[in-house]
Amino acid sequence: MGTRISGHATAVLALVMLVAAACDQATAGAPSLSPGPSGSGAVAAPGAIADAVTNRCDVSGAEQGAIVVEPVRQADGSCLAPRKAVLYRCDPSFDPVFALGIESLPHRFLGGAYAVPVATLPDDARAIGVSSFGGLFLSADQRRLYVEAGGLIERWLTLPDPNRIEQPPTAFMIGDSILDGAKDAVVSALPDWTVSIDALIGRGSGGGVAVAEAMPQPPPDVAVVELGVNDADPAVFAENQQRILAAVGSADLVVWVTAHGPELAVPGVNRAIFTAMGELPNGAVLDWDRLVPPEDLGSDDVHPVAGQEGLLASFLTPYLESWMLASTGRGATRCERDVAAALAG
């Protein structure tokens, strides 16, 4: 854990400046680049308020909120200056954020539901420190953040420059019968977006290539691909997938929805999805295969039962909305200015 601040939404939240002190308490010697102990970091005590820089964090409603700010420890036990690199969580319900250069226009990376597992660290990844989430590694171009813990590696999602997001936000979606059944629900659940959907019953990945290559320009904020359950050969799927990603990869966020069904090719298709999306700094996976409730599927174990055709929308639209909020200084990043101001003080 890191420095924690909690209080009522209408009260001033005190950001306790124990971030740097937390690293001073590190044990002597060089820690390995592995997850830090769960108790690492500093907990704000009431008596520390007098030494705090106070700020207000916009916590909506009447609920209590909490900001957690965590330092990054280097291999020698010293602390990276929080102004240069810091992890924070604006509320326990939000996904964690890692920010490089928080005082200016930072490079921001979103973890949690937006992290994609990868098999290995790329050759250009360099170790930057250790956090309670695990060892932190950054690619040479600073577009990919990797977090390694317990032998597992995730690539966190790169958030775009907030000025890049269109108003209203735009989304382009390609799919098969699953998206076709959900398209009305998707559009209805995103009333403040401009959404274009091209979904066709029985479409395989091969049928999605031409659609992807005809994606409207300039690129949309978000591209969503829901294809794979109609593919019989994971190797052919992977080839088509690369062509689709080459066409839609310029979107600020690219989401691929995993396949769910009894066909033998489905596990291989889903492995290809995770592999390809893990290579994209702006790629994310909505794991329909894991999320879909079995009781809401028909006898074919593929399509939602009558009355539940829009089921995909209940997972997809909150996923896109949360990304959009985080990208524009709300949601998971809504406290970033307060964190930056407190660290600057």
Sorted by where each starts, the structural domains of the chain and their CATH numbers stand as 3-159+328-344 (no CATH), 166-326 (3.40.50.1110)
Residues 6+ apart with CB under 8 A from 297: 260, 303, 304, 305
**pLDDT for res 37:** 27
Cα–Cα dist 316/322, whole Å: 10
Q: Minimal CA–CA distance to 43: which of 95, 4, 97?
A: 4
**What pLDDT does residue 67 have?**
87
**What is residue 247's DSSP assignment?**
H
10-residue mean pLDDT profile of the chain (345 residues): values are: 40 35 41 31 26 27 61 86 89 94 85 97 94 94 95 97 89 98 98 97 98 95 98 98 98 98 98 98 98 96 96 98 96 91 78
State CA 62 to chain mean position distance. 27
pLDDT at residue 23 in the model: 52
Rounded Cα distance, 148 and 152, in Å: 6
Give how far Cα 342 sits from Cα of 18, 53, 67, 337, Å: 11, 6, 12, 8
CB 301 within 8 A of CB 293: no
- What are the beta bridge partners of residue 3? 69
Amino acid at site 80: L
The whole model's pTM is what? 0.84
Alpha-carbon distance 214 to 222, whole Å? 15
What CA–CA distance (Å, rounded) separates 326 from 145? Answer: 17
Q: Which long-range contacts (CB under 8 A, 24 or more apart) does 96-104 make?
A: 96/133, 96/332, 97/159, 97/326, 97/332, 97/333, 97/336, 98/136, 98/145, 98/156, 99/336, 100/138, 100/142, 102/336, 102/339, 102/340, 102/343, 103/340, 103/343, 103/344
The 3-state DSSP class for residue 290 equals helix
In one-letter notation, the amino acid at residue 69 is V
